[in-house]
Structure 1
Amino acid sequence: MKSTHRFCTILFLHNKGKGRIVTTATPKDRVQRALSEFDEKLRDHPNWANWETNRRYSSFITIDGKRYPAKTIVALAQNIAEASFSGAFETTRYLRKAGISTEPLQCLPASLLDLHFEREAIYDRKTEIHGPFGGSHQSGIAPSSTFPAIFIFTGDTGAQNGYADKWVDGENTCLYTGEGQIGPMALTKGNLAIAEHAHTGKSLHLFQSVAKGKGHRYRGEFVCESFFTEEQPDQKGTPRSAIVFRLTRVETVPDCDPSLPLEDSETLTLQVSLTAAREAALAVTQRAPSTSTKATARTIYQRSRVVAHYVLMRAAGTCESCEKPAPFNKSDGSPYLEPHHTNRVSDGGLDHPQFVAAICPNCHREIHSGEDGAKKNQALAQKIRSYELYRA
């Protein structure tokens, strides 16, 4: 007897060897079934009450006036766990097959804490990178038009256009060739943006092309450690002078504690007065990256140390977020506060007095993990920036 339910005619077969569900249903049919399942079993469940404000979900679809989390619908449609695929690019591609387009949950993120790209996940450049954050869809170096961030793109086909990027140090460092397809490269436009990113307070986010039309894999956040020039062929095969940036993962930059004694080999002096410490901090951020091929993370470490020293002196033992005294003193008697980068998802590497605050551990954890962390960070960023601009 013919069933009135459209899905009763769909044949499902269980493959015991691979533990998968095989179906003759089209992606559109599967999505329709997933939508019904979400409405019946999940929509009214307490765990899904505020899913639209959860950073875990970056896109949604709208059907008959109702919103659905895009990745969850794709997982239900394919009968697989959400954790089994990266989400961004795969979700968009599958839903396109069903004739459905996705929309970003936050067209304009509240702060850089919402730059929540997942390492090794694949993203659609147009809709999931430049759509929410702006910037050129074509350039290999694309500064965001609305946020202090620079998006950098690399791929295997770059050599055809005069770019020869390569990974070293266990892929913790990328030797990234600057922009300019014909003739010698100049330290202008995108190249200058990378070289000055620490001074301007802009974070570097590196993406690697998977294949033409198959998205870009997020490789992480980086800091420009140095740059140099070397001879490389341009797009026409003519030898030319190319700019190569040494980009290091921010997580590999060592933490610093200004209260610890300096190593004998270091020629770094920490100032004892607040004014002198501020001048020193501004000076190290304005210094261009080294052009030496032998430069190491030591340069970044020293900059971080000088800036952290000034910021802790500026706070004078009081959390710059909650304005309460430091919770305890360190072994040297100084109040314990932690440097926090207001313009970054993680800490370390990128330093400038306008974007670094000294805060207590409780505020630090709340900003990174709390429900209202983004708002708290925004308020702190505005306070610190206003203070530094007033002193300028």
Structure 2
Amino acid sequence: MISNRQLTERFKCSSQGGMRRSHATDSLVLIADHTQSLYENRWIDGRFHFSGIGKKGDQQLEFSQNKTLAESAENPVTVFLFEVFEPGQYVYAGRVALADAPYTASHPDIDGSCRSVWVFPLQLIEGERSWQITEDLIRKNRKRSERLARNLSDKELVKRAANIKSRAGCRRATTDLYEKNVYVAELARRKANGCCQLCEQPAPFRDRHGRPFLETHHIEWIAAGGEDTIDNTVALCPNCHAKMHVVNMKSDRRKLRKKAETNVFQYTLFDEVIFG
């Protein structure tokens, strides 16, 4: 773990930006800052899906360091990946290379408008050993993201929940942790409106901020290949959540499927009203 100053001195690159090219060291330094809300960068099946640069409007593959990274298999540049979980602390993930062709995804830009973003699937170079982060650090970062999600308007939340990859992120710490999307989870809680979507009773208590305490659940479990999407996510009381993981009755899954379909229908209506 190093500071931004140390990173800049070591690679002789800029002190700002998510893609920092250094001609002096013939390197491209990628910064995945998880404390910032604009991009959804995460590990999925051993690959890190890194969003290109360009904060407003559709991103261009030929623009600046997007082109450098896209052509990194043919050019001599060495690509280094760092992740940020606490402001000012840069965690070295390792040397990386393109694992597949870049693809486009939809994400809100800095003004909240939906736009096309280039995403680069990266993988660690064979033999590269990265520092394994602690579960505590991941959980702290998730709590920060959850606070952000709670402060978003319904319009902003719908945009973010609708435009993410369906697979939950997974990274190695002391165990494999699934990085479930906070916007999908927050949207499920809002649609539940304070009541468990299985037993249909009010949440058993309120948290210290006065919010009904409900836990999000994936009807088809993430560990079994389920998707981290609004049509597979519901909000349950702790008792029903435990029941679904212990018993997982077909009748309960059918009921929750219908609830999730209602969530999607409500989202679709909201989307049509807001975006036309």
TM-score of Structure 1 vs Structure 2, range by shorter chain: 0.3 to 0.5
* More contact order relative to length (CA 8 Å, sep ≥ 6): 2
Task: Kindly indicate which of the two structures has a greater share of residues assigned to strand.
Answer: 2
TM-score for the superposition, normalised by structure 2: 0.44
